[in-house]
Chains A and B, each alone.
Chain A
Amino acid sequence: MKDDDLLSAPSDQQYVSLERTASTYTPLATYNLPKGENRHYQQQYADMYFARLAQLKPAVEKLASEAWAEFEIAGETALRKDRVLDVRQGELCWVAGTVYMEMPLKPNVLEDIGKEHWIAAPPPRIKYDSGIGLGIMLEDESGRLRLTGGFLHECLLVTGAIVAVVGTENKDGDFEVLDLRVPDLPRQPVRWELEDGNGALNGKATQEVRPTAGKVAIVSGLAISGDEGDTLLLDLLLEYLLGECAEPSMQGDAAKVSRLIIAGNSLSNSSPIPTREEVVAASKKSGRKIYGYDSSSYNAAPTDRFDQWLAALLPSMPVTLLPGEQDPTSTSLPQPPIHAAMFPHARAYMSLPQAREDASWFDSTTNPAEFNVDGFRFLGTGGQPVDDVYKYISDCEERLEMMEAMLRWRLTAPTAPDTLWCYPFQDGDQFVMKECPHIFFVGNQPKFETAVIEGPVGQQVRLVAVPKFRDTGELVIVDVETLVPEVVKFEIFEEG
């Protein structure tokens, strides 16, 4: 049937229901926190930096020693120093360590306390950098070294990144940086590597012919608020994914979408922890504490709406749900999955926690999350790490650059724990990427952007910045075979 036949009288034509492309899905437990008693919050965050440096130093030193083996200035070759304090004045050398950025506008716990005495709070900061007082240091277990030099202005650096720098210490005791290296992309698994490995372990023969993979839809920032009038786009999105609206050719496209990934902020304003300002406002207004259940202010409608929405979608397609900044789960990264109790209807599609043999049809996962879809490795976050990196870098709006930098630093959350809340990992920093993803998506970004970057040994990563659906009405659809994204935009025509 032709597409424009929808504007014609009903005929005898029989419409058939389409069948959705299957999705092979393997969730990875990379960012799962220790369970129950094993989860502690007493540890010091310093251990995380030590662990991170220990994990990434070999990689960056390997690259640096290759690059700077021949590094020579005025007949002097650059020597390698093991510790930053071993650097001697006037000596050309290179050293690896953790970057620490001193920025006057970085959040400060003492300032937080002082806030209570402010008459008017300063406007929320978009960037930490005020232009003055910026200090970049290189740190390891021995001490700190202040970095300087014009070269640094071209570099994108944030606290927590592990880098190697070459240069000399000048008479002020600062290190003049001439060049810089980062760990760069880690090893990238071959497509289907994990699945084949698992299959081999279970004694199954490798599948020679795999079905052609479909597409994966990624959306973020649904921001269901329970307000009237913001859910029509959500309805359209649902109808599109279910293949009910639009013309048959569009429905055919929708049928190829084999999975929906929700990258954070599905709900609006339902973070369990109110900000200091909210607490003050709430206690002023009602004289009641905001913590705890307050039936007059608690609104179950957004959660309920979201649950219904998912329950309508799940019969037709599997869903992977990442929490975001505003979602009802822990606020520190890695965020644990949104609990099944929030989804009285949709949880019928979750597998029971005891039965772990298969991935859930509806997989409420962590943020960040790592999983394999149709053999390709996906790594995604709800957007907080990029948003935080953004604050470090002055005069830069290029979200893709930041995403690329994160990959090259091999850190999913480089600024944690300095300015981003995170769990105090003890044995190794979980945010260090051990394997390079094929697709790196970041939710809740201002606009859709995409790029492909390449690594030193031919790794190729597709970067996708997923816009907020609430603001843009955009759904990103990535073809899993080619890793080329496209956009479906839902709009309502307003007078204009």
Chain B
Amino acid sequence: MSANYSEWLAINVLNEEHLISYRSLSRALKVHSNLAKQMLYDFHRKQNAKRPGSVHATYLISGTKHAQAPQSNGYADHDGEDTAMQSSPPLPSSSMPQEENHEAERIVVRSMLLVKEEQLEQAKATFEAITGIHIYSLQAKGLSDIHSLTECNRKIAVDYASEDPLLGWKQYGTIQNPNVKRRSQKRQPPPPAPAPEVARPRPKPAAVERQASKDSQDSKTAAQPPPVKANPELNKRSLPRQSSEIFKSFAKGKSKDRKAESQSSAEASPALKPQDEPMADFSDEEADEHGEDIVEEVPKVTDGKSKSDREAELQAMMEQEDEIMQDAADAIPDKGASAEDDEDDAIDKPEAKTEDETKESVAVENGRRRGRRRVIKKKTVKDEDGYLVTREEPAWESYSEEEPAPKKVKVTPALPAVNIAKAAGGKKGGKPGQGNIMSFFSKK
């Protein structure tokens, strides 16, 4: 293999005009780096004997330099010596005396100097003693920028990346280390992150769908299947930031909530007026106050259950499912109004219509809103069998509250497009995402 190095070098240096360092040669021919250095020398000598100046070399000189070498950028003056200090403990400062009389310990400084062929003699002169010199690289023409030599090593890193250094590098003369510890299975670079937030909510839209279809049956209103179908898509897309747990509980609970409400409201107002405003009102109230009511109540309910009646537990658990959902559903809008926006889509349409705005009066004065609204209250009663039964009942309450807090409005930018679309086209298309809480806020 080493016999044909001249050929290889001729091709790469003369024909291809590559920069070839001893390392590239040793890698290419799988020879020891010291042998590669000799090959470079041999090739350089022979070629230049044939045609002077045809191959240009850089040399690496090692040795010790003169103490006052011109290249030593002011370094040689002081740092070659070591002042062995005797410490006098008392003071940090006084314990570091500049004892000039102390004989300076000579610190060995060895230099490795990379130099172009034409400056070789000049460079050699700066050395006090040269311990070794070898050809670092060869190139066909003169080297304009010596820094381009770094390309050789970069190429090696790229071309021989697949080589196992622990096995292959021995032949290049790399110092071997028997103690090296490397993890056995190289971990593959992880695949591109699979946008987890988008992927995870998948189950939830399904739940919504299921609930939604129930809804449409229960409330004998004109349910619109296509929008319902479209929902999951929208949810997935528009809810990238929502944590999945929150979303899940919210999605289900919300639907149940809706079920209850749509049942009652369906009876209440058979005349369906497709309008945005009531919907918004409804959402708003739920977000603002209703939630708090329920949150306060629910813990009591569960407490009472566990304390009062042990045997009722099973039965209670059946219902608890509903309660918890409700709880979550109501609690969350407080925190994340945006979640509600995303939820309020075409499924809500029936309810939106059934929510009669005449029954809910809202008056705004002095920055406060007053009015009556309907909320769902939970009542826990013992039935004739002694079981605890929790019922959700609509009740009216009057309220007065501050104008919507600005922090809720902050969330609005999430769905400006939907708002605009709504404002413009009404609800003609049964567009998913309509009737969201933000449309209410933005209009105020």
Contact = CB atoms under 8 A, between A and B. Distances in A.
Interface of A: 1, 3-11, 15, 17-20, 22-23, 63, 67, 154-157, 161, 179-182, 184, 228-232, 234-236, 238-240, 242-251, 254-255, 308, 312, 314-318, 344, 347-352, 358, 360-361, 398, 400-401, 404-405, 408-409, 447-456, 472, 474, 484-496
A18 B45 CA distance: 29
Contacts of B123: 493
Nearest to B32: A15
B86 A358 contact: no
A47 to B, nearest CB: 25
Contact of B89 (A184, A229, A315): A184
Q: What 7 pairs across the A-B complex have the smallest Cβ distances?
A: A247-B132, A405-B92, A315-B165, A493-B115, A156-B93, A243-B175, A6-B134
Nearest to B123: A493
A400 B96 contact: yes
B94 A17 contact: no
A361 B181 contact: yes
Contacts of B93: 154-156, 401, 405
Contacts of B41: 6-9
B132 A6 contact: yes
Residue of B32, B85, B92 with highest tally of chain A CB at under 10 A: B92
B131 A249 contact: yes
Contacts of A182: 90-92
A377 B178 CA distance: 24
Interface in B152-193: 153, 157, 165-166, 169-183, 186-187, 189
10 contacts: A6-B34, A17-B171, A157-B92, A180-B90, A235-B150, A246-B62, A247-B133, A250-B131, A318-B180, A485-B107
A152 B21 CA distance: 59
Given A8-B42, A316-B169, A361-B180, 15 more contacts: A4-B132, A6-B37, A17-B173, A17-B174, A23-B179, A156-B93, A231-B147, A232-B150, A254-B175, A317-B175, A349-B180, A349-B181, A447-B78, A448-B107, A493-B114
B383 interface: no
Contacts of A240: 112
B145 A491 contact: no
Nearest to A152: B93
Contacts of B122: 493
B56 to A, nearest CB: 15
A264 to B, nearest CB: 19
A405 B94 CA distance: 10
Interface residues of B, number: 86
Given A254-B175, A401-B93, A487-B110, A312 B157 contact: yes
Nearest to A154: B93
Contacts of B37: 6
Given A18-B176, A250-B132, A491 B112 contact: yes
B34 A493 contact: no
Contacts of B157: 308, 312
B175 A496 contact: no
A96 B262 CA distance: 78
B210 to A, nearest CB: 39
A47 B439 CA distance: 52
Contact of B178 (A19, A312, A455): A19
Given A232-B147, A316-B169, A344 B189 contact: yes
Interface in B261-292: none
A408 B172 CA distance: 48
Contacts of B187: 347-348
Given A243-B174, A351-B183, A450 B82 contact: yes
B39 A245 contact: no
Given A9-B42, A487-B109, A491-B114, A401 B96 contact: yes
Contacts of B38: 5-11
Contacts of A242: 174-175
B255 to A, nearest CB: 36
B399 interface: no
Contact of B112 (A67, A246, A317): A246
Given A156-B93, A236-B112, A228 B147 contact: yes
Contacts of B134: 6-7, 245-247
Interface string B71-89: 1110100110011111101
Given A451-B82, A486-B107, A244 B174 contact: yes
Nearest to B90: A181
B62 A250 contact: yes
A232 B39 CA distance: 22
A249 B416 CA distance: 74
A55 B94 CA distance: 24
B403 to A, nearest CB: 32
B33 interface: yes
B60 A245 contact: yes
Given A448-B75, A454-B87, A489-B111, A3 B132 contact: yes
Contacts of A358: 181
Contacts of B78: 447, 449
B133 A4 contact: yes
A240 to B, nearest CB: 6
Contacts of A344: 189
A491 B131 CA distance: 16
Contacts of A18: 173, 175-176
